[in-house]
Amino acid sequence: MNQSSSDWPLWEVFVRSRQGLSHKHVGSLHAADAGMAISNARDVYTRRQEGVSIWVLPADAISASSPVDKDILFDPANDKVYRHASFYDLPDEVKNM
Amino acid sequence: MTKDEHFEWLLWLADDALILAQRLSEWCGHAPVLEEDIALSNIALDLIGQSRAFYAHAGQLEGLGRDEDQLAFFRTDRDFRNLLLVEQPNGDFGDTIARQFFFDQFALLRFTHLAQQSFDTEVAAIATKALKEVRYHAAHSAEWMIRLGDGTEESHQRIQDSVNRLWEYTGECFESNSFQTAAEKANVLPHAESAHQEWMATITNILSQATLTVPNSTWMQKGGRQGRHSEHLSYILAEMQVLPRTYPDAQW
């Protein structure tokens, strides 16, 4: 479907749910500008106390890896287990690792 | 201040919030875009929350056993004390935003004062909580005024028409009457005249950012605070009250 020029651009929304956690992608929305995107994100994605901070960025500013490149990007790491952080015992006090 | 006077201005606060909330709720599922649909519904819910708190408090003060539901659903249009402004139809999106903008700036002044007074500490507590919501409402409507006014030729013309159409309902926010005077003497509500000046300065500032013109007409509608409403209120109440009046003991 063609996007008509009068449509608002798409924004991707990232919400930090608690201090100390990173911003997490929660979805997208339409807005005319960044200020409006934050205010819409507040209404659409944080009405149930989900967040302490919001990031929005224009969806077309995101460059994504192509699914076709999946093999060359990710497979080489599969057989290098010594790189995986799975041999460490995490203390119980460390949450959100 | 007599109990009647106290009860009266509590009704102003509750009725303004409830009727505007009922109006905004009409947008639910009909707003121009999904994001704004949710925004308007959120604002409506904030206002319903405020009205509940004020009704509950007013009912206790009155001491006749009327709770928030009794006050919201079992009074007729003549008993309602809301501003004529908040019962005006939604019109187009611009009309709704202009109405909201005029009211939000008024509510901001009123709640700022209510949060600081010590005559009624329960109201101060409600106002302190409501002020956070009202600040957001005011930012939301002001941003839309600027966006529409400083937008396209059509949006500019239409929002200017909305401003002109609703202007005659703004004077009532700052009406002087015996209840207002009593509330001013107790330093509960902001002084009508100085609040009006402050409101006008903010409105003028935001409208000029929006490249809009402040109407120069000074003739103002009144009657809402005395229970003399436009025809619209009866229709609002009919829809809002039909269920509890038909099934008075209905439970969720």
**Assigned domain for A66 exists:** yes
Q: Determine the residue of chain B that is closest to A47 in CA distance.
A: B42
Q: How confident is the model at residue B249 (pLDDT cuts 50, 70, 90)?
A: confident
Domains of chain B with bracketed CATH: 3-246 (1.20.1260.10)
Name the nearest CA neighbour of B73 among B59, B83, B90.
B59
Q: Which residues on A lie below 8 Å from B33 (Cβ)?
A: 8, 30
Domain span at residue A76 reads 10-83
Please judge whether B143 and A30 are an interchain contact, meaning their C-beta atoms are less than 8 angstroms apart. no
Per-residue pLDDT, A67: 87
- CA A13 vs CA A33, A36, A40, B35, B82: distances in Å: 13, 12, 10, 13, 39
Per-residue pLDDT, A42: 92
Per-residue pLDDT, B81: 98
Task: Indicate if the pLDDT at residue B84 is higher than 60.
Answer: yes
The mean per-residue pLDDT over the stretch B80-89 comes to 98
The alpha carbon of residue B193 is apart from the nearest alpha carbon of chain A, in Å, by: 33
Q: How confident is the model at residue A5 (pLDDT cuts 50, 70, 90)?
A: very low
Task: Indicate if the pLDDT at residue A39 is higher than 70.
Answer: yes
**Assigned domain for A77 exists:** yes
Per-residue pLDDT, B231: 95
The alpha carbon of residue B67 is apart from the nearest alpha carbon of chain A, in Å, by: 28
- Please give the interface size between A and B, counted as residue pairs whose CB atoms are below 8 Å apart: 29
The alpha carbon of residue B33 is apart from the nearest alpha carbon of chain A, in Å, by: 9
Q: Tokens in use for B8?
A: 């009266």
CATH number of the domain enclosing A51 = 3.10.20.520
The mean per-residue pLDDT over the stretch B73-79 comes to 97
Q: How confident is the model at residue A82 (pLDDT cuts 50, 70, 90)?
A: confident
List pLDDT tens digits, range B3-32: 999 999 999 999 999 999 999 999 999 998
Nearest neighbour of B143 by CB, restricted to A8, A36, A44: A36
Q: How confident is the model at residue A2 (pLDDT cuts 50, 70, 90)?
A: very low
Name the nearest CA neighbour of B40 among B142, B110, B109, B140.
B140
Per-residue pLDDT, A97: 61
Query: For chain A, what is the domain count?
Result: 1
Please judge whether A39 and B39 are an interchain contact, meaning their C-beta atoms are less than 8 angstroms apart. yes
The secondary structure of chain B in percent helix, strand, coil, rounded to multiples of 5, reads 75, 0, 25
Per-residue pLDDT, A51: 84
**Assigned domain for A95 exists:** no
**Assigned domain for A32 exists:** yes
Task: Indicate if the pLDDT at residue B247 is higher than 70.
Answer: yes
**Assigned domain for A97 exists:** no
Per-residue pLDDT, B232: 97
Please state, as a whole number, how many other Cβ atoms lie within 10 Å of the Cβ of residue B75: 17
Chain A contact present for B152, CB below 8 A: no
Nearest neighbour of A43 by CB, restricted to B35, B143, B147: B35
The alpha carbon of residue A62 is apart from the nearest alpha carbon of chain B, in Å, by: 22
Please state, as a whole number, how many other Cβ atoms lie within 10 Å of the Cβ of residue B35: 21
Chain A contact present for B38, CB below 8 A: yes
Please judge whether B39 and A47 are an interchain contact, meaning their C-beta atoms are less than 8 angstroms apart. no
Per-residue pLDDT, A91: 83
- Torsion angle, alpha carbons of A83, A85, A89, A93, to 10: 150
d(CA B212, CA B160): 6
Q: Which residues on B lie below 8 Å from A31 (Cβ)?
A: 35
Please judge whether A39 and B143 are an interchain contact, meaning their C-beta atoms are less than 8 angstroms apart. yes
**Assigned domain for A93 exists:** no
Per-residue pLDDT, B54: 98
List pLDDT tens digits, range B151-181: 999 999 999 999 999 999 999 999 999 999 9
The mean per-residue pLDDT over the stretch B52-60 comes to 98
Q: Tokens in use for B55?
A: 């009704």
Nearest neighbour of B143 by CB, restricted to A30, A35, A47: A35
Q: Which residues on A lie below 8 Å from B140 (Cβ)?
A: 39
Per-residue pLDDT, B75: 97
Q: Which residues on A lie below 8 Å from B39 (Cβ)?
A: 39-40, 43
Per-residue pLDDT, A6: 59
Beta strands in chain B (DSSP E): none
The mean per-residue pLDDT over the stretch B188-207 comes to 97
Please judge whether B39 and A43 are an interchain contact, meaning their C-beta atoms are less than 8 angstroms apart. yes
Per-residue pLDDT, A1: 37
Q: How confident is the model at residue A3 (pLDDT cuts 50, 70, 90)?
A: very low
**Assigned domain for A38 exists:** yes
List pLDDT tens digits, range B100-157: 999 999 999 999 999 999 999 999 999 999 999 999 999 999 999 999 999 999 999 9
Task: Indicate if the pLDDT at residue A18 is higher than 90.
Answer: no
**Could you report the predicted ipTM of this complex, rounded to two decimals?**
0.71
Task: Indicate if the pLDDT at residue B41 is higher than 70.
Answer: yes
Nearest neighbour of B42 by CB, restricted to A31, A35, A47: A47
